[in-house]
A and B are shown apart, each in its own frame.
Chain A
Amino acid sequence: MEFPAALFPSYFGAGPPQEEGGPAPLAGWGEHGQVLEGGPGRRQVQPAFVPRRGATGERWEAADAAAVPVLLPRAGCWIPSPAPQDILYRSGLCKKLRAGKSRAILDFTRQLGHFFVDHPEDAFGSLGRLLHKNFYLGNSKLQRPARSSTIRMTALVEDIDRLEARRGCPRQHLASRLRWFSHLCRDWLFEVPLGLLADCLHEELMQQWSNLLFDDSLTGGALAWLPPEDRGTPVGCLVHPGGQAMNHLYFQDVVLEELPRTRGAPAQFELSGRIQQVAAARVDGQDFVGVRSDYHCGVWRLLGKRGAVPTPLQVIHTDVPASCLTVSPHLPGELSVCTQSGTVYLWSVETGLQQLRHDPQTMFFRDHSPWRWSDFTAHPRVLSCADRTGLQCLDARAPKRCHFDLFKVGEEAGCQQGERVVLPMYLGRAHPSQYLVTTQFSVYVLDERLPLVPVLKWAHMMKAPPLFAHLMPGKPGRSHKVLLGASRTQELLLLQYRDSFWGVSSGGSQSACQLAGTPQKLHSIAGCLQHLPTQLPHRHHLLQQRLTAPAAGLAATLQEDGPHKSMLIFQLSEAGDVFCQRLTHNAAQPPAPPSRDEATTAPGSSPLFEYRRWLRALSRACKEPPGHTWSPSLSQRRLFTRKDLEGPVGPSSLQRQMRQRLRQTMKEGGLIQHWAPLALQPPPLPQALEPAGGLDPLSARLTAAWAGDWEQWWEERTSFSVAKRQQALRERRRRQKRAQGRRSLSASFTSSLTYQSELSELSDTGPSVLSPGRPPLLSQEASPPAGSPLVHSPATSAAPDEALLSSQSLRCRGIPKERRKTLRDYLSVWAEGPPEPPEPLGSQASQLCIPSSQSQLSSASQPRRKRPRMGF
C-alpha cells in the first residue's frame, strides 16, 4: 500500500495535552477539519478540494425498526450484575447531606450487614457456638442460677427493631444499650477482626463501584463472527458465551437470510471462568478463535468449512487476570496476551509463550489503571502494546531494543486533558498499516508509517467509552466501515472512512485518509422493548432489566448479493442474548429523506414473530430452575405475635427424652440417624383451604408446611433425583466461581475460611438454599453444617438449656432457625453503629488493617521514573 503523497495539514506539538477536557456533547459535528487538494480531473481550471471530514459516504438504512433476537434464551435465568442502587446509599438524610452535589455514597453498613447475614458462620462461627447458651432470647425473666451466666437479648432485639424502623438515621438516638453492647464485644465477637473485615469490604465496594462506572474487563467484546468462505454457502459461525455464569462457549452456525437463522445445535464447551473476550482471525483459510477469561486463555481452530467441529488447541493459565487476547491475522496459531501486571506475551501454539515486556508502570506518564492491550501490526513480528497512556510497537525478536511510539495521549495527537486509551485495534483487513485507537472522547486512525500523528481524528460523542469495535473493510475505492460499541449504554455507532482518495496534488496517486459521511446511530438491544407485545408489569420490569443489560460484544458482516448490499450487525448483552439488525445499502440518493413516522414504524411480521418466539423461550427458561430462587425473607415479627413465639414453660417430656438420648449418644461417641420425629405431635392445624395444584415451589412448600407434612415434602424434594441435586450443586459451584471471578463481596472473605464453605456445599445447606430446618445429621467428625441450628450441649451443663429449649420448641412449630434470624437482625443493625472502635480498644484492629492500605500506599510512594499525571 502506497503512502499518501500528501497529508492533510496539521500542527505537531509535544508534551501534555493543552486542550481542557470536559463533556462535549456535540463536539464531533460541523467541522471539516482541514482540506486538501484532490478530486477527479487533472486539467481543471480551478483546483478542487476535499475535506478531511464531511465527504459523502454510503447510505445505509435500517431494514427494521428494532433489533431482532438471533438466539433463543437458554435454560437458566440470568443473574444480573449489581446495579448502582445495590451498593449506593439512598435515603432522605443522604440527599440532604449531598445538598445538590452529586456525590455517590457507598452503602457500607448495609453491605456489612449483608455479609453477617449471608455468612454468619464466617463472621461469628466459633464465638457464636461458644456463647449461644449465654444468650437468652425468650421473654420470661431469667432464673437465679442462669442469670449469672446468661444475657437476656430480647430488649436488645427490640432496640434493633426500633432502629430498623428509623432507617436512614442510624446514629440518631442510638440506644445506649446497643452502644454498650457493641463496645463490649466488638473486639472479640468477630471471627475476622472487624477493622480488617471493614477494610476488605470497603475495598471491594469501591472496586464494584468503579466497575459499575467503567468495566474494562469486557474490552474487545465476547462475540465473534466467522464469515462464510468466499465461494461457499452463506453460512457463518457465531462464537459467543452463554450460560448463567457466561462460562459456556458456543459455536453456532448461522445461515444468512433476510434475518439470520441458526442451523443445527451449537458446538459447546464448558470453561472454568466467565468469558470476557472472544477474538477471532482467519489465517490461511482457517479460523482461530481466542477466548479470554480472567485467569485462563484458550485458542480454538475451525477449518474453513462450516459444520466442522472446532478443535481446542491450547489453554494457558495466568496468575494475574489477563486483560487482552488478540489473534494474529498473519500467522496461524499466534496470539498476543496481556495481563494486568503489565506483561505482554506473544503466544504461539507451537512454541509457547514469549514474554515481550514486563512493566507494571504505564508507558508515557503515570496512570493507575492496570489495563494493558496488545495487537498485531503490519509486520508479523512487531506487536503493539497499549496502556491507558498510549501505544508502543515492539519487535518480538528484540523487544527491548526495537520499539517505537505509535500513539501518545498528549499534544502530539491533539488530545484533551484526562483522555485515555480505551481500545486499540489493528485495521489490517482494510489497510495493512493502519490502526484504530478509541478514547472516551475521540476515535483516531493512525498509520504506523507516520507514528504519533493521527491521520484521522473525530470526536465520537458517545455517552460511554467505546469498548468494542468492528471493522468491515470496503472494496478498493469504497469506504471502510467501523462499528463502535459501548457496554453500559449499549450504544452502537457506524462510521465510514476512506483510506485514500484520488488526489491531484499527488499526481493521481493515493492521498490521505478521510472520514466519509456522517456517523450513524444503530439500534440497541434495549430499543426493541417498545416493540414487544405488552407484558404484565412485573414481567415488563424483568424484561426491561434483561434487555438493558450492558452490551458485552459486537460483530458484523457485509453481505453482497448482486446489486443488493446489506450489513448484519450482531450485539451481545451480558445476559447472553444476541440480537441482530440489518442495514441495507441505498445506492441511489432518495428523493426525500424518510420522515420520523416512517422511521419508527412497527417492525414487520417476521421480527414480531421472532419476538414472540423469544419471549416464550425466555419465560420457559426463567421458570425452570427451582433450586435457587431467592428465598423470600419475612420478618417473623410480622407473622407471629410474641405470644405465639412463647414456648412452653418447661421442657416437655419429649424434649427431655431427646436431650437424654443426645447426651447418651455423645458419651458413646455414636451417631444419631433418626430423631424419630413422629413422636412429636404438632398442634392441630386448620385444613388447607386451596387445593395444591400447579403451585410454584414456594407455595408448594408453604402449603406443605401448613398442612404439617413439610418433612415429607423435603424428603421428596431431596430424594427426587440425585442427578438433579448434583446439577444444583454444580450450578452453585459455577455461580460461586463466577462470583469469585468477579471478585464479588463474598469472595474476598471466604478465601480464608474455605473449609466452611466447602462443608456447607457438601451438605447443601448453604444460606441460599431453601432448607432452613432440614433434620440435621450429627456425627462426631463434622461440625454442624452452616445452616443448621446448633444442637450443641455440653454434658456437664446440668441446668436446662433455655435457649436450646426455645429453639426446639419453635422449630417444632415450624419456625426454623429462629435464633439465627434474631441474631441476624440484631447484628445487621449493630453493624450500623459506629464501626470505628474507640482509640484504646481499637489499637489491635487498626494494626490489623494496615496491610491492605499500607501496601497501596507504599506502592504509590515509592520512587517512580514516570512523569506524574500532571497535565495529562
Chain B
Amino acid sequence: MDSFLEEEDEEAPTVVVAGKRRRRSSPAAQALQPPLHLPFLPLQPVSSNEHKLNFRKSKEACLSFIQDALLQKEWKRAAEFLTCYIESLEKDYSREHIGPSEMIWRTGAEILWHHSQSSMKEFNCFMEQMKTLGVKRYLKVCLEHVFHLLCNGQIDEAYQNLSLAESWRFGEQTAIQDKEMKLIQAYRGLLDYYSWSKQKNILLENSEDGFSDSAVEQEMHGYFRKAAVNLKEIIKIPGVWDIFVKCYVDLLEFYGDHNEARQVLNEYAYNSKFPANPNAHVYLYQFLKRQREPKKSLISALKILHDIVPSHELMIDFNTMLQKSKKRKKRRLGLEVIFAALDYAGWKENAKAWSCLSRQVKQIVISEKHLDWIKQEWNSRKDWWPAFHFSRYLAKRNWQENKSLSYEKALVAGILLGKGCKYFKYVSHQGCKAQLKRFRMLKKFVNRHNPVYLRISGPPDSSVQP
C-alpha cells in the first residue's frame, strides 16, 4: 500500500500534521492511512466555494448518474446519461485504472442487455464499435460479445466471432492478451466439439439405419482435429477447465486413445499447480469406472477424493464399495469415511448416509468384532455429535419429516449413546406408539446391545488398539 500511495497521491489520502514539523517514522505514518486502501474515498470536505465545474468534474457527475440509474434498473435514464458521457472520449487523457472507453463498453453492454427496446442487432453493432475503441482489451470485449451470443443461442455467429478474434494481430498487444486468446481458442474448440458431437450423432443414427456417409464422417474428423488442438492447449495451463477436459477426454475416448485420456485426467487431478478441484478426481474416477479398472484403482482414486473433500457425495459409493470389501482395513476405512461425511452440516439429513452408517454399525455390533473401530471414531465426536445430531429437537423434527431417516439415526444413537439417549427414546417411543414393527425391532435390538454403549463410551481400555 505504501508504494501505491506514493504513486497516486491524488487518490490516496495522506495526512500531515500542522504544527509538528518533525518527520515521523514510517510506522507512525502508516496509522494515518486507513487500514485499507479504499476505492472511492472522499478525501475531505471540499470547501463549499469550489463550485466551478470543470470537464473532469462533470464527467464524474455524469458517471455517478449512470451508476445510480443502473443500480435502480432505470435503463432508459442510464442510456440518456450514457449518450452524454460519450463526449468524455474527446479528452481522454486519464491514466485511470478504467478509462472512459471501458466504462462506455461496460455500461453500454449492461444497458443493452436490459433495455426493453434493444435488439441483438444493436448489441452486435455496439460491441463492434467497442472493439475498435480500445485495443488494450480487444480480445476481452470479443470474448464478452461471444458469451452474449452463446447465451442467446446464436452459436454460429459466436463461432464466426471467435474465428475472427483468433486471427487478430496487433503487435505486442496480441502477446499481452494471451490469456484471452487462449480462452478464445478454447471456446472455439468447445464449439467444434459440439459440432463434432452433432455429426457423431447423425453418423450413429445413420449406421443404425444401415447407411454410412463418408462426407459426414470426414467432416466429423475435421471437427475433431480442430477441437482437439485447441482444447489440448488450454488444459495445459493451470486453471479450472472442467468442460474443456470433459470434452477433450470424450474425443479421445471415442477415438480409442485411452492412454492420452488417462494422462490428461491424471495431470488435471494430480498436477500441484492446478487447484484442488474435486471434479478432476471425479472425472478420473468415472473414467476408470468406464474402463472397468480393478476395484483397487477405483478405491485409490476415491481415497484421494476423500482426503481432499470428505463431504463429497461420492463418499456414499465409496463407503458401499469399502463395506463390501473382504479386507478389514478397507472396511475400517469405510467406517471412517461415513463418519467423516456425517460430520458435515450438508449431510445432516441424508437418509442414505445414515443408513450406510447404521448398517455398518449394526454389523459390527452383531459380530461383536471391531468395536474398537467405533470407539475410536466416536472418541473425537462424542462431545459434539449428541448436540449436533441427536438432540430432542431433531428427534421431533426428523420424526415429522422423514421416518426412515429417524429410524436409522435412532439406531445409531441407541448404540452410541445407549438406550437412555433422548433421540432414541423419543423416536422409539413414537414408533411404538404408531405401531410400526420396524421400530419395535429397533427398540429390542438396542436394548439387547445396550452394554456395547458402555464399552464404546468408556475410558480407553487395553484391548482397544489405537
The answer to whether A108 and B384 touch across the interface, beta carbons within 8 angstroms, is no
Q: Across the interface, which residues of B come within 8 angstroms of A209, CB to CB?
A: 15, 32
Instruction: Give Cα A644–Cα B179 distance, bound, in whole angstroms.
Output: 84
Whether A399 sits at the interface, judged by CB under 8 Å, is no
The answer to whether A464 and B38 touch across the interface, beta carbons within 8 angstroms, is yes
The answer to whether A381 and B384 touch across the interface, beta carbons within 8 angstroms, is yes
The answer to whether A30 and B63 touch across the interface, beta carbons within 8 angstroms, is no
In the complex with contacts A202-B20, A519-B71, A26-B66 CB distance below 8 A: yes
Q: Which of B1-38 contact A (CB under 8 A)?
A: 1-4, 8-11, 13-22, 24-28, 30-38
- B106 CB to closest chain A CB (Å) equals 4
Whether B240 sits at the interface, judged by CB under 8 Å, is yes
Q: Contact flags (1/0) for B65-86 with A, using CB distance below 8 Å?
A: 0111011111111000000000
Q: Contact flags (1/0) for A4-22 with B, using CB distance below 8 Å?
A: 1111111111100000111
Which range holds the interface residue count of chain B? 35 or more
Nearest CB to that of A333 among chain B residues? B387
Question: How many of A's residues come within 8 Å of B, CB to CB?
Answer: 127
Nearest CB to that of B383 among chain A residues? A351
- B195 CB to closest chain A CB (Å) equals 10
Whether B458 sits at the interface, judged by CB under 8 Å, is no
Instruction: Give Cα A284–Cα B22 distance, bound, in whole angstroms.
Output: 60
Whether A634 sits at the interface, judged by CB under 8 Å, is no
Nearest CB to that of A37 among chain B residues? B243
Whether A95 sits at the interface, judged by CB under 8 Å, is yes
Instruction: Choose from A22, A202, A378, A419 the contact partner of B345 (Cβ within 8 Å).
Output: A378
The answer to whether B343 and A379 touch across the interface, beta carbons within 8 angstroms, is yes
Whether B194 sits at the interface, judged by CB under 8 Å, is yes
Of B165-173, B251-259, B269-277, B319-327, the one contacting chain A is B269-277
Q: Across the interface, which residues of B come within 8 angstroms of A353, CB to CB?
A: none
In the complex with contacts A102-B13, A463-B40, A596-B74, A203-B31 CB distance below 8 A: yes
In the complex with contacts A210-B33, A214-B34, A453-B240, A379-B345 CB distance below 8 A: yes
- A401 CB to closest chain B CB (Å) equals 13
The answer to whether B11 and A26 touch across the interface, beta carbons within 8 angstroms, is no
Instruction: Choose from A88, A108, A216 the contact partner of B44 (Cβ within 8 Å).
Output: A88
Q: Contact flags (1/0) for A586-597 with B, using CB distance below 8 Å?
A: 000000111110
Q: Which of A19-63 contact B (CB under 8 A)?
A: 20-27, 29-37, 45-51, 54
The answer to whether A22 and B96 touch across the interface, beta carbons within 8 angstroms, is yes
Q: Across the interface, which residues of A come within 8 angstroms of B1, CB to CB?
A: 418, 869
The answer to whether B242 and A6 touch across the interface, beta carbons within 8 angstroms, is yes
The answer to whether B147 and A32 touch across the interface, beta carbons within 8 angstroms, is yes
The answer to whether A84 and B32 touch across the interface, beta carbons within 8 angstroms, is no
Instruction: Give Cα A859–Cα B183 distance, bound, in whole angstroms.
Output: 46
The answer to whether B18 and A9 touch across the interface, beta carbons within 8 angstroms, is no
Whether A330 sits at the interface, judged by CB under 8 Å, is yes
Of B150-158, B220-228, B363-371, B411-419, the one contacting chain A is B150-158
The answer to whether A104 and B312 touch across the interface, beta carbons within 8 angstroms, is no
- A132 CB to closest chain B CB (Å) equals 28
Instruction: Choose from B32, B35, B103 the contact partner of A26 (Cβ within 8 Å).
Output: B103
Instruction: Give Cα A463–Cα B38 distance, bound, in whole angstroms.
Output: 8
Instruction: Choose from B31, B183, B393 the contact partner of A285 (Cβ within 8 Å).
Output: B393
The answer to whether B28 and A853 touch across the interface, beta carbons within 8 angstroms, is yes
- A752 CB to closest chain B CB (Å) equals 21
- B439 CB to closest chain A CB (Å) equals 23
Whether B399 sits at the interface, judged by CB under 8 Å, is no
Whether B266 sits at the interface, judged by CB under 8 Å, is no
In the complex with contacts A26-B66, A452-B275, A493-B71, A49-B39 CB distance below 8 A: no
The answer to whether B246 and A518 touch across the interface, beta carbons within 8 angstroms, is no
The answer to whether A7 and B279 touch across the interface, beta carbons within 8 angstroms, is yes
The answer to whether B343 and A380 touch across the interface, beta carbons within 8 angstroms, is yes
- Among A35, A835, A836, A856, the most chain B Cβ lie within 10 Å of the Cβ of A35
The answer to whether B15 and A24 touch across the interface, beta carbons within 8 angstroms, is no
Whether A2 sits at the interface, judged by CB under 8 Å, is yes
Q: Across the interface, which residues of B come within 8 angstroms of A206, CB to CB?
A: 15, 28, 31-32
In the complex with contacts A6-B246, A46-B153, A596-B77, A106-B109 CB distance below 8 A: no
In the complex with contacts A3-B309, A29-B106, A521-B31 CB distance below 8 A: no
Q: Contact flags (1/0) for A71-115 with B, using CB distance below 8 Å?
A: 000000000000011001110001100000111111111000000
- A559 CB to closest chain B CB (Å) equals 22
The answer to whether A101 and B9 touch across the interface, beta carbons within 8 angstroms, is yes
Q: Across the interface, which residues of B come within 8 angstroms of A33, CB to CB?
A: 147
Whether A473 sits at the interface, judged by CB under 8 Å, is no
Instruction: Give Cα A378–Cα B66 distance, bound, in whole angstroms.
Output: 40
Q: Across the interface, which residues of B come within 8 angstroms of A8, CB to CB?
A: 240
Whether A207 sits at the interface, judged by CB under 8 Å, is yes
Whether B134 sits at the interface, judged by CB under 8 Å, is no
Whether A700 sits at the interface, judged by CB under 8 Å, is no
Nearest CB to that of B19 among chain A residues? A109
The answer to whether B116 and A592 touch across the interface, beta carbons within 8 angstroms, is yes
Q: Across the interface, which residues of B come within 8 angstroms of A723, CB to CB?
A: none
Q: Which of A102-152 contact B (CB under 8 A)?
A: 102-109
Nearest CB to that of B238 among chain A residues? A12
Q: Across the interface, which residues of A come within 8 angstroms of B274, CB to CB?
A: 12
In the complex with contacts A109-B19, A207-B31, A26-B106 CB distance below 8 A: yes
Whether B459 sits at the interface, judged by CB under 8 Å, is no
Nearest CB to that of B234 among chain A residues? A9
In addition to A9-B241, A432-B344, 19 A-B residue pairs with Cβ atoms within 8 Å of each other are A2-B313, A6-B279, A8-B240, A9-B243, A20-B97, A30-B108, A84-B44, A88-B44, A89-B18, A202-B17, A330-B388, A331-B384, A428-B345, A450-B275, A450-B278, A463-B40, A521-B71, A596-B74, A836-B22
The 6 closest A-B pairs by CB, nearest first: A22-B97, A30-B106, A30-B109, A432-B346, A213-B34, A521-B71
Q: Can you offer 11 A-B residue contacts whose CB atoms are under 8 A?
A: A9-B186, A21-B4, A209-B15, A210-B33, A381-B384, A418-B1, A431-B346, A465-B36, A521-B68, A853-B25, A856-B25
